[in-house]
Amino acid sequence: IVVTGSDDRLWKMWAFPDGNILTTGEGHTEWLSGCCFRPSGTQLVTSSGDTTVRIWELSRRGCILTLKGHSRAVLGCSWHSCGDLVASASMDSTSKIWDVNSERCKCTMRGHKDSVNSIEFLPFSSTVLTSSADKTLSLWDSRTGLRVYTFHGHLHACNHATFN
């Protein structure tokens, strides 16, 4: 299975390798910037220019939760390996950790001076990695929302970062 998000405000699930479209999700009012499967594979999280993060139940083919709290476009999302936490990165210079069970923001990570362009959890850890247009990468503790370390050295915006 492959999932894509598009400027057409839709996400699509494709069969692999034949390329047939299995389902389409609609509900965002602006472009989609990211999508990530829940580790169990039963749900999907999407991020959008409409400032929201949405959780989709794949068996029902519908949005079951809309997370609101960012003031500008959400540029990326990531699901924690435990399946209970979602992270989002926004043009509002913040990142958020969301508890999907309580349907609330657990913490807001502040410290980047420009757009946060990507976010990713270190698997089986409370560590989160963000990349920013402020030319830095930061490591955060998702339990507290505190920055642990900042990497400096890029001359231009950092668009994405990932763990090995």
In this prediction the pTM is: 0.95
Average pLDDT over residues 64-89: 97
Q: What angle do CA 91, 97, 100 make, to 5 degrees?
A: 120
Domains of the chain (ranges, CATH numbers): 2-113 (2.130.10.10)
In this prediction, residue 45 has a pLDDT band, given cuts at 50, 70 and 90, of very high
The pLDDT value given to residue 17: 92
C-alpha separations of 59 from 63, 90, 109, 157 in Å: 11, 28, 32, 38
